[in-house]
Amino acid sequence: MTRKPRGNVPHKRRVVTLPVVGLLIFVLASSACNPHVRKFTADPRHICAGEPVRIEWSVVGSARIIVRPPSDHLHDGLVSDDGRAVITPNATTNVELQVTRFLGNPTRSVQEIEVAAGAPRREVLTASLGDATSTPSCTEGRVTATVHAKRFSPQVKVATVLSHPNDGRTYTVQHAGRAAILTPGTVLGDFRDTPLAGDWTLSAPVGEGQTCETIPPVLVINVNTQCLAEGRP
């Protein structure tokens, strides 16, 4: 009898590729099928009670909108992929856009509409020195930057301007063709009844021992807002 030699005999490995390729194709297809929001805006996003707000959306997938509190002008439920509506909130309102698509992961986006009513509301206006849109500059011992207040209705007016807590800088404030000096702890009425919307230019001296590289990275003031009653001059 002839014996076969002992030892490890190499075996051919089976390479299973079809399931792996199929899984990869499924993952890629699922990613391609994911819904997404092209556009979803609410303008303006800070209003006086009852003012119109334009809602616009554009999605890839099936869209559903939910409004809280409910609106008579935009009902909850399915909507077209591209659409617009106008609502008139009387209280702070959230508009939620939900988008689904076959084999894709659902997505959602929310627009909050702030409604000013009753007592004055405080807004914080901040100009970042690291944001090119604020057109920051630091020359001759002063730092200057601009806040672009865009999301407010023209009916939201300025009541008073005051310094931000724990900010000891003195500001030169310019807005709506007016200018005033804001010192720490003071309250200004110089901008009263002007629209909050628009550009606010803030300027402050560079502090002793500071340089343009070491100054605080933001300029900030507080603004109390009001909604004027109809017919008030």
Taking only the tens place, the pLDDT of each residue in 117-127 is 766 789 999 99
Q: Give the per-residue pLDDT at 5.
A: 54
Which residue, 226, 229, 192, is CA-closest to 122? Answer: 226
Topology (CATH level 3) of domain 33-116: Jelly Rolls (2.60.120)
pLDDT value at residue 220: 96
Task: Supply the pTM of this predicted model.
Answer: 0.75
User: Where are the chain's structural domains?
Assistant: 33-116, 121-227
Contact call for residues 65 and 97 (beta carbons, < 8 A): yes
Q: Is the dihedral of CA 43, 45, 49, 55 positive or negative?
A: positive
Tell me: the pLDDT tens digits for 86-144?
999 999 999 999 999 998 999 999 999 999 876 678 999 999 999 999 999 999 899 99
Q: What is the pLDDT of residue 172?
A: 98
Distance, in Å, from the CA atom of 40 to the CA atom of 90, rounded to the nearest integer, reads 21
Contact assessment for residue 142 and residue 206, using Cβ atoms and an 8 Å cutoff: yes
- The residues with which 126 forms a beta bridge, in sequence order, are 220
Phi, psi (rounded to 5 degrees) for 42 = -130, 125
Radius of gyration of the chain from Cα atoms?
29
Architecture of the domain whose range is 121-227: Sandwich (2.60)
Which residue, among 56, 65, 67, has the nearest Cα to 94 in the 3D structure?
Answer: 67
Distances (CA, A) of 193 to 93, 102, 142, 190, 210: 25, 52, 29, 9, 36
Residues of the chain under the 70 pLDDT cut: 1-32, 118-119, 229-233
Q: Does 121-227 match 33-116 at the fold level? A: yes
- Please report the pLDDT score of residue 120 as a whole number: 76
pLDDT value of position 9 = 53
| Beta strand pairing call for 46-48 and 107-116 | parallel
pLDDT of residue 116: 84
Q: Tell me which residue has tokens 């979803």.
A: 40
